[in-house]
Amino acid sequence: MEKIISYLENNFDNSVKEFFEYLRIPSISTLDESKDDIRLCASYLQEKFKSIGFKHTEIIETEGHPIVYAESLEAPGKPTVLIYGHYDVQPVDPVELWDSPPFEPEIRNGKIYARGANDNKGQNFAHIKSLEAWNKIEGKFPLNIKLLIEGEEEIGSPNLEKFLHTNREKLACDAVLISDTSMYADGVPTINYGLRGLAYMEIEVTGPNRDLHSGSFGGAVANPVNELARMISKLQDERGRIQIPGFYDDVLPVTPAEKENMTSLDFSDEEYKKELDVKELFGEAGFTTLERLWARPTLDCNGIFGGFTGKGAKTVLPSKATAKISMRLVPNQDPKKIAQLFTDYVNKIAPDRVKVKVTDLHGGSPVVIPIESKAIGIASAALEKAFGKKVVYTREGGSIPIVVEFVRTLNAPAILMGFGLETDDIHSPNEHFRVNNLKMGMFSSAYFFDEFARNF
Ligand code: BES
Ligand code: ZN
Region 436-456: what's the mean pLDDT? 98
Task: Please confirm whether the linkage preceding 94 is cis (ω < 30° from 0).
Answer: yes
Residue of 400, 421, 422, 427 best suited for mutating to test ligand 1, as the one with most atoms within 8 Å of CB: 400
In tens, the pLDDT along 9-62 reads 999 999 999 999 999 999 999 999 999 999 999 999 999 999 999 999 999 999
In tens, the pLDDT along 95-128 reads 999 999 999 999 999 999 999 999 999 999 999 9
Residue count of the chain: 456
Is the per-residue pLDDT at 192 higher than 90? yes
Residue of 293, 405, 426 best suited for mutating to test ligand 1, as the one with most atoms within 8 Å of CB: 426
Are the CB atoms for 435 and 112 separated by under 8 Å? yes
**Interatomic CA distance for residues 430 and 426, integer angstroms:** 8
- Distance between Cα 155 and ligand 1 center (Å): 10
The residues that bridge with 371 in the sheet, in sequence order, are none
The HSE-up count of residue 286 (CA atoms within 13 Å, CB side) is 7
The residues that bridge with 221 in the sheet, in sequence order, are 218
Structural domains of the chain ordered from first start: 2-195+366-455 (3.40.630.10), 197-251+297-363 (3.30.70.360)
- Distance between Cα 297 and ligand 2 center (Å): 19
Is the per-residue pLDDT at 266 higher than 90? no
**Interatomic CA distance for residues 128 and 276, integer angstroms:** 34
In tens, the pLDDT along 396-414 reads 999 999 999 999 999 999 9
**Interatomic CA distance for residues 292 and 289, integer angstroms:** 5
- Give the C-alpha distances (Å, rounded to integers) separating 149 from 17, 170, 200, 370: 21, 15, 23, 25
Region 139-168: what's the mean pLDDT? 96
Is the per-residue pLDDT at 185 higher than 90? yes
Instruction: Say what the pLDDT of residue 95 is.
Output: 97
Closest by CA to 403, choosing from 200, 72, 179, 189, is: 179
Instruction: Say what the pLDDT of residue 338 is.
Output: 98
**Interatomic CA distance for residues 362 and 339, integer angstroms:** 9
Instruction: Say what the pLDDT of residue 22 is.
Output: 98
- Pocket-forming residues, ligand 1, beta carbon under 6 Å: 119-120, 153-154, 156, 180-182, 198, 364, 396, 398-401
For residue 230, the one-letter residue type is R
Residue of 88, 119, 150, 179 best suited for mutating to test ligand 1, as the one with most atoms within 8 Å of CB: 119
Closest by CA to 88, choosing from 154, 34, 23, is: 154
